[in-house]
Structure 1
């Protein structure tokens, strides 16, 4: 799954705002970017069709909410990108994360360690 720049900005907005209709998104993002209301509506519809947004009808308009949280989307995107390059049982993905972690500070590394431990506990059923 690929996301365009406007789609990413709309998701960021909805993660922060919880929910909005096309006019609200347009007021915040569309006008400053020079996008029409129609472009914003099309973007929201694409995100809905990709399964990233949910929507409910309110009067004549839809009200949109993010269907996935930021972390779940990032995990999905990483999996999509790496699945073409990483074979089952291969350690290159782990090596890539290790390499990327070189840019993390001590607090971020501590948080990563904590998250890994949580995953271990979930896997064991604790």
Structure 2
């Protein structure tokens, strides 16, 4: 997935807003749902919930296209946008990039924290992690 996307990771925020801005996230949710759309249609949907300028939506969608998250092509007088990556693939890409960064620089701390976190908050997932480790190491 060759996205030229660079993002800031904001762990205190919820969902995809951790890596995309709030408006970018809303736009991507609309396009992942609709599969293709114009700025006009996306603006119309967003404007039902809040006061937002057409040019703000247009600029944000253009930037998402420049980042490689949206595809853009002209149909008649309008640009039509579609996701360049599925939501699932995007989430996998983000998780990979975040974990690669943490494990590259702080592997001991990251691994210990992940195990402690799972033990405290989700013992079932900790058991699943043990099974994954055993399957990868041949039960060593």
Q: Do the two structures share a fold, i.e. TM-score over 0.5?
A: yes
Closer/same/farther in 2, CA of residues 71 and 97 from structure 1, 3 Å limit: farther
Does residue 42 of structure 1 match 2:59? yes
Q: Which sits farther off after the overlay, 28-37 or 65-74? A: 28-37
Distance 1:73 1:101 in 2: 27
- How far does residue 77 in structure 1 lie from its aligned partner after superposition? 1.8
Instruction: Tell me the TM-score normalised to structure 2 length.
Output: 0.63
Residue matched to 1:123: none
Does residue 8 of structure 1 match 2:20? no
RMSD value over aligned CA atoms?
A: 2.9
Unmatched tracts of structure 1, length 5 or more: 121-126
Instruction: Tell me the TM-score normalised to structure 1 length.
Output: 0.69
Residue matched to 2:88: 71
**1:1-126 equivalence runs, <5 A:** 1-2=7-8, 3-87=20-104, 90=107, 99=117
Distance 2:31 2:123 in 1: 29
Partner-residue secondary structure (3-state), 2:107: coil
Partner-residue secondary structure (3-state), 2:49: helix
Q: Which segments of structure 1 move beyond 6 Å, counting only runs of 4 or more?
A: none
